[in-house]
C-alpha cells in the first residue's frame, strides 16, 4: 500500500522538477533583459548580487522618486530615473524594516527580529500582506529585510504538510475557522484548488486593487515587489521593477535554507543574536490543519502544472534571487565587515 504511493509521489515530484526546469529554460529564452537600461555598468556590478546570497549594509537611495510601473514602458530604452541611484552605507543600523512575505517562515522571522531589535534597543517596523509602504532605502540607518520561498511550494506545498498558502488561507475561510465555533469545515464549504488560479486568488485583480497576499495565487512576488497587480506586457515590466527593488534589500531570508544549521549559524552570526528558526505558531494554522486532516486535499497533477506555468515569472525571480554561486557546500559567505553585530556606537542592552 505504502510503496505504490511512495513511487507515485516520487514520480510526481521528479516530473514537477523537470517541468519547472523546462519552464525556467523557456523563460530564459523568452524574456528579454532590459536591465541594462536600468543601471549604469558600475552600479549594476553591485546590484547583480542578490542580497539573499550577499547581504550588505549599503543603501541605494534613488535620487528621483521611483517610476510608477505604468510609466515604465515609456521609459525602457530612455533615460530612467533609477539610473541615478546613489549608494551609501547605512551603518550603524538603528532600525529594521521587515517586509513579511506570508507562508514563507515570516512569523518565525518576526519573532527573531523582535529579539534582535530588543537586544540592540533599536526600532523594528514590520509590514505584512499589502504592498510595501516604505521604499527600500528611503530611511537612513535602516536595515531592509524580506523573505522568499519557492513560489509554487509557498502556494501549495507538495512536500510539507504545514505552511502552504492554499491549504490555509486559500482553501478555508480562516475567519470562520478561527472565530465561528458553529462553523464546520466540509467538502462543500472548502474552496476548490482548481479555481485558485488568478492574480487575486479566486478572481483576477484589478489594476488599481490593493494587493494582498491573502488573496493571491499568481505571481505574488512580482505583484508585491513591483506594486502592480496586473500586467499588460506579460509581467515583463513588473518583473524588472520587482527585481530591481528586491535586490536593494539588505538581506533576504530563504525559507528553503531554514533547516540548514550552517545557514542558521550564518544568520545568527550576522545579527549577533541566537534563536533563529525556533518553532512558532501562526494564525489559523492549527484550525486549518485540523480541517485539512478531516477533509484531505487532493490535488490534480494537471492543476499543479497549470499553477506552475502561471507562476513562471515568480519562479524566475525566485531562482535569480536565491541560486547563490557562493553557497557551494553549505558555506554561507555573509561577509564579516557587514555583520550587524560589528557596528560601532550602538548601545547594546540585554
Ligand X SMILES: *[C@@H]1O[C@H](CO)[C@@H](O)[C@H](O)[C@H]1NC(C)=O
The contact set with ligand X (CB under 6 A) reads 91-92, 176, 180, 182-183, 344-345
Residue 160 is placed in which grid cell? 510539507
Smallest distance, Å, CB 261 to ligand X? Answer: 32
Which residue, 176 or 269, has its beta carbon nearer to ligand X? 176
Which one, 32 or 345, has the nearer CB to ligand X? 345
- Residue 254 grid cell: 530563504
CB closer to ligand X out of 182 and 347: 182
Classify residue 201 by its DSSP letter.
B
- Which of 33, 290 has the CB closer to ligand X? 290
In the numeric block, the cell 530564459 is attached to 28
Residue whose CB is less far from ligand X, 29 or 182: 182
For residue 89, the minimal CB distance to ligand X (Å) is: 9
Nearer to ligand X, 142 or 226 (CB): 142
Alpha carbons 154 and 163: distance in angstroms, whole number: 7
Q: What is the DSSP string of 84-115?
A: -EEEEE-PSP-EEEEEE-TTTTHHHHHHHHHH
Q: Which is nearer to ligand X, 40 or 180 (CB)?
A: 180
To ligand X, the closest distance from the beta carbon of 179 in angstroms equals 8
CB atoms within 10 A of CB 197: 17
Q: How far is the CB of 174 from ligand X (least distance, A)?
A: 12
339 φ, ψ to 5°? -55, 135
Q: What is the C-alpha separation between 181 and 280, in angstroms, rounded?
A: 24
CB of 141 to ligand X, least distance (A): 10
Between 261 and 345, whose beta carbon lies closer to ligand X? 345
* Least CB distance to ligand X at residue 184 (A): 6
Alpha helices in 197-336 (DSSP H): 220-226, 236-246, 261-271, 285-294, 301-310, 312-322
Please identify, using beta-carbon distances, which residue of 183 and 282 lies nearer to ligand X.
183
Q: Which residue has the cell 506579460?
A: 234
Query: Closer CB to ligand X, residue 53 or residue 177?
Result: 177
Strands 85-89 and 251-254: unpaired
Query: CA end-to-end span of the chain, whole Å?
Result: 55
We find the least distance from the C-beta atom of residue 159 to ligand X, in angstroms, to be 32
Cell of 70: 505604468
Rg (CA), the chain: 21
DSSP string, 148-167: E--HHHHHH-SS-SS--HII
CB of 346 to ligand X, least distance (A): 9
Q: How far does Cα 141 stand from its chain's mean position?
A: 23
Quote the DSSP letter at residue 203: B
Alpha carbons within 13 A on the beta-carbon side of 189 = 12
Report in angstroms how near the CB of residue 345 gets to ligand X at its nearest.
Answer: 4
Question: Nearest 5°: CA angle at 144, between 68 and 199?
Answer: 45
Q: How far is the CB of 338 from ligand X (least distance, A)?
A: 13
Amino acid at each position: 500500500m505504502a510503496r505504490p504511493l511512495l513511487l507515485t509521489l516520487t514520480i510526481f515530484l521528479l516530473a514537477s522538477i523537470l517541468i519547472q526546469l523546462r519552464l525556467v529554460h523557456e523563460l530564459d529564452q523568452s524574456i528579454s533583459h532590459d536591465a541594462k537600461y536600468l543601471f549604469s555598468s558600475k552600479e549594476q556590478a553591485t546590484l547583480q548580487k542578490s542580497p539573499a546570497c550577499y547581504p550588505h549594509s549599503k543603501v541605494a537611495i534613488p535620487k528621483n522618486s521611483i517610476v510608477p510601473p505604468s510609466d515604465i514602458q515609456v521609459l525602457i530604452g530612455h533615460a530612467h530615473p533609477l539610473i541615478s541611484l546613489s549608494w551609501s552605507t547605512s551603518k550603524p543600523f538603528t532600525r529594521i524594516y521587515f517586509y513579511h512575505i506570508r507562508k514563507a517562515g515570516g512569523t518565525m522571522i518576526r519573532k527573531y527580529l523582535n529579539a534582535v531589535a530588543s537586544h540592540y534597543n533599536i526600532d523594528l517596523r514590520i509590514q505584512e500582506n499589502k504592498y510595501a509602504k516604505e521604499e527600500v532605502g528611503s530611511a537612513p540607518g535602516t536595515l531592509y529585510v524580506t523573505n522568499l520561498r519557492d513560489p509554487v511550494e509557498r502556494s501549495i506545498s507538495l512536500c510539507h504538510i504545514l505552511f502552504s498558502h492554499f491549504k490555509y488561507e486559500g482553501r478555508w475561510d480562516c475567519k470562520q475557522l478561527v472565530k465561528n465555533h458553529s462553523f464546520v469545515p466540509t467538502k462543500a464549504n472548502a474552496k476548490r484548488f482548481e479555481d485558485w488560479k488568478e492574480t487575486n486568488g479566486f478572481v483576477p485583480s484589478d489594476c488599481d486593487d490593493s494587493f494582498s497576499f491573502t488573496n493571491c495565487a499568481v505571481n505574488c512576488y512580482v505583484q508585491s515587489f513591483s506594486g502592480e497587480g496586473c500586467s499588460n506586457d506579460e509581467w515583463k515590466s513588473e518583473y524588472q521593477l520587482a527585481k530591481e527593488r528586491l535586490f536593494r534589500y539588505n538581506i533576504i531570508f530563504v525559507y528553503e535554507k531554514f533547516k540548514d544549521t550552517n545557514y542558521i549559524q550564518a544568520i545568527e552570526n550576522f545579527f549577533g543574536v541566537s534563536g533563529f528558526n525556533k518553532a512558532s505558531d501562526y494564525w489559523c494554522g492549527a484550525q486549518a490543519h485540523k480541517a485539512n486532516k478531516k477533509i484531505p486535499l487532493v490535488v490534480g497533477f494537471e492543476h499543479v502544472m497549470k499553477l506552475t506555468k502561471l507562476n513562471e515569472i515568480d519562479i524566475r525571480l525566485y531562482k535569480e534571487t536565491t541560486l547563490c554561486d557562493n553557497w557551494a557546500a553549505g558555506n554561507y559567505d555573509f561577509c564579516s565587515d557587514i555583520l550587524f553585530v560589528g557596528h560601532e556606537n550602538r548601545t547594546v542592552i540585554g
